[in-house]
């Protein structure tokens, strides 16, 4: 799943959780899925920032 797809799914999960009306088990599943996606997206951003920083430093040298 790409970063954009992960973010789209996260938005869907947040909307579903904010809307309420789901059973506890479904809420927990959505929350767990969202937590995993958030962690994945944060890692991808950190990796991208590291690459940008490396390229920036290479340009300085």
Please determine, for residue 14, whether its predicted confidence score (pLDDT) is greater than 70: yes
Number of domains in the chain: 1
Both tokens of 6, joined, read 């992960």
Q: How far apart are CA 18 and CA 4, in angstroms?
A: 21
pTM of the model: 0.80
Q: How far apart are CA 29 and CA 20, in angstroms?
A: 14
- Reduced to 3 states, what is the DSSP secondary structure of residue 22? coil
Residue 38: which residues within 8 A CB-CB, separation 6 or more? 10
Domain that holds residue 51: 3-60
- Give the model confidence (pLDDT) of 19-60 as tens digits: 999 999 999 999 999 999 999 999 999 999 999 999 888 877
CA distances 3 to 41, 47, 53, Å, are: 6, 12, 20
Query: How confident is the model at residue 61, as a pLDDT?
Result: 66
């Amino acid at each position: 799943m790409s970063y954009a797809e992960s973010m789209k799914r996260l938005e869907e999960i947040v909307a579903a959780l904010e809307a309420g009306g789901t059973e506890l088990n479904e809420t927990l599943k959505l929350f767990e899925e969202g937590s995993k996606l958030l962690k994945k997206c944060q890692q991808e951003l950190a990796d991208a920032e590291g690459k940008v920083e490396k390229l920036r430093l290479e340009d300085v040298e």
